[in-house]
A and B are shown apart, each in its own frame.
Chain A
Amino acid sequence: MNIFRLTGDLSHLAAIIILLLKIWKTRSCAGISGKSQILFALVFTSRYLDLLTSFISLYNTTMKVIYIGCAYATVYLIYAKFKATYDGNHDTFRVEFLVVPVGGLAFLVNHDFSPLEILWTFSIYLESVAILPQLFMISKTGEAETITTHYLFFLGLYRALYLINWIWRFYFEGFFDMIAIVAGVVQTILYCDFFYLYVTKGEGRSQLSIPT
């Protein structure tokens, strides 16, 4: 494991924990897209089914369990515990427009036509676009709380670091996985506009306003 992969994982973990703590501490999930969080729970569930079939390392298993656990805890907080604060009226992205095409693509373009492999591919494709309901919600309300922007920053940073990890692995190990790389590039590009606003306008402000 190289340093980019490790910092990518830690950045991903930071994002997940930041969101969970924000909701827990403020007793509110205002401004958070429950739909994006359901998609992420779906991503982790379909990708980490190999927890049941193979053991890779203690690190790998631990992180997967934490990611899955946190994803479902977040969904629980949004849709059950703090349901009253959930901003459903602004969370109107049609997720079937993501899940159905992504599911179809996973069937058509994969490494091997087997159930686990198709689910893994599905999770890779779905993850690349799972943040869209959240970005859509922010563009609709026109603003995001600072802590939410930190969450998005770490989530975007994670995939950007993975891209550097894959460049590193290509040069030093001759390794590359086209499905992961293409989806990873798409995922990172979706955050670019946000990164720009985060860096140029986020400093010293309590809220990030996104021009619609």
Chain B
Amino acid sequence: EATDSIKDEL
């Protein structure tokens, strides 16, 4: 799963 760190980006 993509990390939360990349999901924080727009």
Interface residues of A (CB under 8 A from B): 5, 9, 12, 50, 54, 56-57, 60, 63-64, 67, 111-112, 114, 117, 120-121, 162, 165, 169, 173, 175, 177, 179-180
Identity of the chain A residue whose Cβ is nearest the Cβ of B8 in the assembled complex? A56
Number of interface residues of B (CB under 8 A): 10
Is A56 in contact with B7, judged by CB distance below 8 angstroms? yes
Closest-by-CB residue of B relative to A181 is B6
Q: Report Cα–Cα, A111/B3, bound state, in Å.
A: 9
Q: Which residues of B contact A (CB under 8 A)?
A: 1-10
Question: Is B8 touching A114 in the complex (CB atoms < 8 A)?
Answer: no
Q: Contacts A111-B1, A114-B1, A117-B1: A177 and B6 contacting too (C-beta < 8 A)? A: yes
Q: Which residues of B contact A120 (CB under 8 A)?
A: 2, 7
Number of A-B contacts (CB under 8 A): 39
- In the bound assembly, the distance between CA atoms of A12 and B5 in angstroms comes to 19
User: B8 to nearest A CB, angstroms?
Assistant: 5
In the bound complex, do residue B2 and residue A177 qualify as a contact, i.e. CB atoms below 8 Å apart? yes
- Contact in complex: B1, A112 (CB < 8 Å): yes
User: Do A9 and B3 have beta carbons less than 8 Å apart?
Assistant: no
Whole-angstrom CA separation of A120 from B10 in the bound complex: 11
Q: Is the CB of B10 within 8 A of A12?
A: yes
Contact pick for A111, options B2, B5, B10, CB 8 Å: B2
Q: Are B10 and A60 in contact (CB under 8 A)?
A: yes
Q: Is the CB of A50 within 8 A of B1?
A: no
Pairwise interchain contact B5-A175, C-beta atoms closer than 8 A: yes
CB distance from A98 to the nearest CB of B (A): 21
